[in-house]
């Protein structure tokens, strides 16, 4: 029994972090139809910034979110204006974004490799391996903090999307882009902001990544694969789906790890992806697909 | 004084061929026009070009004397041109109330927006009853009313309406035309695309017949249907037979 509680707790804690990693990705898809394969690349940039701040000046990864979030927001805005805005009118925009963001991910990986080499890193924070022991159950402190920070970030994002005018415009554009234009939303501006926020959340998630996992320049490939399968399971463009998908799959992965060993943990996401695509192709919370 | 001047406009989608091959239309302030023509004539594309949703490749569109082709859709809306597309373009997961509030996106005064929403709910009682219902769960007629209510909140000088009665029950069709007539009574100019030729022209002062992206014939609304050669030539034989039956 305690094992079940233990695994479920671990899954939930990790799932919250996955959710914050995936939210920006699914939002960017929802608003603009961009499948940003460089999303995890931006996350790794955030992780490096956070790691450098920690190892040079002892800045805690949570404090570094105040830098990684805004910095990556700015990088996101510039990236959107330079690479994506010029091709929005193209009828093959969706396909082009896959290629552009794939190229971008390679560039990010190359630049990080040149700057930081390919050595594995992890911010060695004091709470990284500390636990609270409740009888037979142990709760890793670092993951609890990471989960709490993820909830705060998701809460802030929710407040922004539901309580501000720009947030309303972003949601409206996600639901119906042409309708948003018709009621006077400058979708070009909204897209720029949404892309910035998407990349900003990736940066902030990078701060959590920096102490929860080891990372290196090429680490983004495994992350983007996991995040993409997660948002497809949740429903492309659905932020609620990213949260439910993130937590749900992380719990299942925790059980898989326990039963079959950590090697199989990643498989969980892809098996879930295959099952969802076969049974419910629009994902758990996605819009019905056109016939 | 012309409110809208479409001058020899060519336009099309993406890198595809021209759909409009030189369309010229003029609407005076407070007057209304109905565009009719067979499928593929470029009726919807004309409205979209005015609304800024389709790029104008050559020619000019002027609103109140100023060029608006090349402006963004939100800039065109701010000048007083509102578009109600054929698919109604609502926000499916937002409630009726939220959809109306989104219509006021360009209205900065909260008090003014609230006043207009209340007024719209009064004008469309069916929407007042369903104000907390999500748009996706409403019937086609109710959705059309919501789309028109949204336009009413925006108080445009020119309203572009694309096939508002498509797929609606006959009784609802009459309600939709009654609403458009109410808009006209306030002095709003309306440019209507309507397959229901007789009713559509009945809602307008002037009729334009488009064919293959070009102007075919135009004149006072009543003269369009009265002219048998126009019926035959531009509305197609089947439509001509159909209109004969309903006239």
Q: What is the pLDDT of residues B47-60, one digit of tens each?
A: 999 999 999 999 99
Residue B235: pLDDT band by 50, 70, 90 thresholds? low
What whole-number distance in Å separates Cα of residue A265 and Cα of residue A94?
31
What is the pTM for the complete model shown? 0.85
The owner of tokens 């999307």 is A161
CB contact under 8 A, A184 and B94: no
The A-side interface with B (CB below 8 A) comprises 89-91, 165, 168-169, 171-172, 175-176, 178-188
- Given CA atoms B157, B163, B167, B170 in this order, what sign does their dihedral have? positive
Measuring CA to CA, which residue among B50, B27, B85, B71 is closest to residue B205? B27
> Tokens for A191?
């897209």
Rounded to the nearest angstrom, the minimum Cα separation between B155 and chain A is 12
Question: Could you tell me if A254 and A262 are in contact, meaning their C-beta atoms sit under 8 angstroms apart?
Answer: no
In this predicted model, what pLDDT tens digit does every residue of A227-269 receive, in sequence order? 999 999 988 888 888 899 999 999 999 999 999 988 888 888 9
Chain A closest-CA separation from residue B9 CA (Å): 20
Distance from the B60 Cα atom to the nearest Cα atom in chain A, whole angstroms: 20
* Fold exhibited by the domain B1-79+195-247: Rossmann fold (3.40.50)
Best of A179, A238, A288 to substitute, by most chain B Cβ atoms within 10 angstroms, is A179
What's the pLDDT score for residue A49?
97
* A86 CA: distance to closest CA in chain B (Å): 14
- What is the per-residue pLDDT across B67-98, written as a single tens digit (0 to 9) for each? 999 899 999 999 999 999 988 888 888 899 98
Task: Report the gap between the CA of B142 and the closest CA in chain A (Å).
Answer: 17
Q: What is the mean pLDDT of residues B138-160?
A: 92
Regarding an ipTM greater than 0.85, the answer is no
Between chains, do A183 and B72 touch, taking CB under 8 Å as contact? no
Between CA A16 and CA A33 the distance in angstroms is: 24
Of B14, B51, B102, the CB nearest to A172: B102
CA dihedral A43, A49, A53, A59 (to 10 degrees): -30
Q: How confident is the model at residue B197 (pLDDT cuts 50, 70, 90)?
A: confident
pLDDT of residue A33: 87
Instruction: Please choose, from the candidates A155, A123, A122, A117, the residue with its C-alpha nearest in 3D space to the C-alpha of residue A54.
Output: A123
CB contact under 8 A, B53 and A178: yes
For chain B, give the percent of residues with pLDDT over 70.
92
CA B129 to chain centre: 26
Q: Which residues of chain A have pLDDT under 70?
A: 288-291
Beta strand pairing status for B214-220 and B66-67? unpaired
Q: Which of A90, A183, A290 is most worth mutating to test chain B (most B CB atoms within 10 A of its CB)?
A: A183
Chain B residues near any Cβ of chain A (below 8 Å): 13-16, 51-53, 55, 72-74, 77-78, 82-85, 89-94, 101-103, 105-106, 150, 154
Q: From CA A104, how far away is CA A240, in angstroms rounded?
A: 27
């Amino acid at each position: 029994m305690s094992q079940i509680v233990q695994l479920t707790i671990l899954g939930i804690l990790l799932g919250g972090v996955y959710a914050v990693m995936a939210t920006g990705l699914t939002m960017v898809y929802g608003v603009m139809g961009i499948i940003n394969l460089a999303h995890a690349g931006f996350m790794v940039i955030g992780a490096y910034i956070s790691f450098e701040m920690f190892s040079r000046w002892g800045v805690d990864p949570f404090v570094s979110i105040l830098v990684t979030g805004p910095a990556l927001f700015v990088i996101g805005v510039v990236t959107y204006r330079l690479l994506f805005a010029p091709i929005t009118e193209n009828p093959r925009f969706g396909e082009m974004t896959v290629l552009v963001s794939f190229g971008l991910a390679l560039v990010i990986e190359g630049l990080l490799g040149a700057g930081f080499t390919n050595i594995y890193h992890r911010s060695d924070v004091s709470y990284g391996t500390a636990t609270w022991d409740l009888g037979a159950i142990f709760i890793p402190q670092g993951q609890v903090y990471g989960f709490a920070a993820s909830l705060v970030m998701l809460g802030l994002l929710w407040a922004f999307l539901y309580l501000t005018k720009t947030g309303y415009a972003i949601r409206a554009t996600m639901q119906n882009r042409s309708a948003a234009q018709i009621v006077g939303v400058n979708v070009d501006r909204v897209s720029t902001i949404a892309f910035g926020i998407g990349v900003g959340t990736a940066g902030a998630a990078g701060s959590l990544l920096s102490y929860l996992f080891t990372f290196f320049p090429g680490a983004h490939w495994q992350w983007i694969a996991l995040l993409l399968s997660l948002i497809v399971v949740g429903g492309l463009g659905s932020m609620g789906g990213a949260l439910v998908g993130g937590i749900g799959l992380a719990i299942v992965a925790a059980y898989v790890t326990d039963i079959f060993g950590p090697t199989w943990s990643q498989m969980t996401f892809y098996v879930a992806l295959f099952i969802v695509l076969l049974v419910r192709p629009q994902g758990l919370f996605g819009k019905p697909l056109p016939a | 004084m012309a409110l809208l001047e479409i001058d020899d406009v060519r336009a099309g989608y993406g890198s595809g061929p021209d759909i409009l091959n030189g369309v010229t239309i003029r609407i005076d302030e407070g007057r209304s026009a109905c565009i009719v023509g067979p499928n593929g004539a470029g009726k919807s594309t004309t409205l979209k070009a005015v609304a800024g949703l389709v790029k104008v490749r050559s020619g000019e569109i002027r609103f109140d004397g100023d060029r608006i082709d090349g402006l963004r859709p939100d800039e065109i809306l701010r000048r007083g041109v509102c578009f109600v597309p054929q698919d109604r373009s609502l926000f499916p997961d937002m409630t009726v109330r939220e959809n109306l509030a989104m219509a006021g996106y360009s209205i900065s005064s909260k008090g003014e927006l609230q006043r207009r929403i209340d007024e719209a709910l009064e004008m469309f009682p069916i929407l007042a009853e369903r104000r907390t219902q999500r748009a996706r769960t409403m019937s086609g007629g109710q959705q059309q009313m919501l789309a028109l209510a949204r336009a009413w909140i925006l108080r445009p000088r020119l309203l572009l309406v694309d096939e508002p009665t498509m797929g609606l029950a006959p009784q609802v069709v009459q309600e939709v035309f009654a609403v458009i007539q109410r808009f006209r009574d306030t002095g709003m100019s309306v440019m209507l695309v309507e397959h229901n030729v007789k009713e559509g022209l009945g809602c307008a002062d002037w009729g334009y017949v488009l064919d293959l992206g070009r102007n075919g014939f135009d004149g006072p609304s009543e003269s369009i249907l009265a002219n048998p050669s126009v019926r035959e030539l531009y509305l197609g034989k089947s439509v001509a037979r159909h209109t004969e039956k309903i006239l």
